A and B are shown apart, each in its own frame.
Chain A
Amino acid sequence: SAVISQKPSRDICQRGTSLTIQCQVDSQVTMMFWYRQQPGQSLTLIATANQGSEATYESGFVIDKFPISRPNLTFSTLTVSNMSPEDSSIYLCSAGTTIEQFFGPGTRLTVL
């Protein structure tokens, strides 16, 4: 099973600022995924990050707002740009195999 770590675990930010979330996997993986979980809601996929190419964004999410980097097979970052209170959520990184998909512990973001 893959062990996924994320930094920071939580943060409180001012509106208009940006936060970069780091995700580290303990083994090489082809795809990494970034999800958002708004308060009391289910998980929604933001984008899929493939090493060596641009991330693929889901409907409603754009690169200018959520730029993603994937410099190697074990690491990815998600930036939440120009934040507003509506961005307050848990952001989760995910990776895995065909039959297992693991998640990092999440980053709890509060935007004031």
Chain B
Amino acid sequence: AQKITQTQPGMFVQEKEAVTLDCTYDTSDQSYGLFWYKQPSSGEMIFLIYQGSYDEQNATEGRYSLNFQKARKSANLVISASQLGDSAMYFCAMREGSDSWGKLQFGAGTQVVVTP
């Protein structure tokens, strides 16, 4: 069964606008971590933000924030004030369990295109 679901295969957003990328997850573990990555056309995977299942506050990193709704099992990424350089593929990932060194499971990704 799919553990991480990203339902938006692609999105267009205008420069300076905010965009929300959806991510839902499926786990029976109480302890887990959620990650977002950016992959530009160069192929590198850039770590953006992390949210732990026990974190009470939503994670924020600069223009990135994570809208964590635990009861709904969603971890949406919000990019504020989009820039042309934000055009990339974005992946949501989850690490399950209390094993801090566990593997990441990735969603299918969302392609974001920022237009002038």
A residues contacting B by CB (< 8 A) are 1, 30-31, 33, 42-45, 48, 58, 90, 92, 94, 96-103, 105-106, 108
Contacts and interface: CB of A to CB of B under 8 A. Distances in A.
Interface of A is mostly: strand
Interface residues of B, number: 21
B94 to A, nearest CB: 11
A44 B107 CA distance: 10
Contacts of B45: 43, 92, 94, 103, 106
A103 B108 contact: no
A3 to B, nearest CB: 12
B25 interface: no
A97 B104 CA distance: 12
Contacts of A33: 103-104
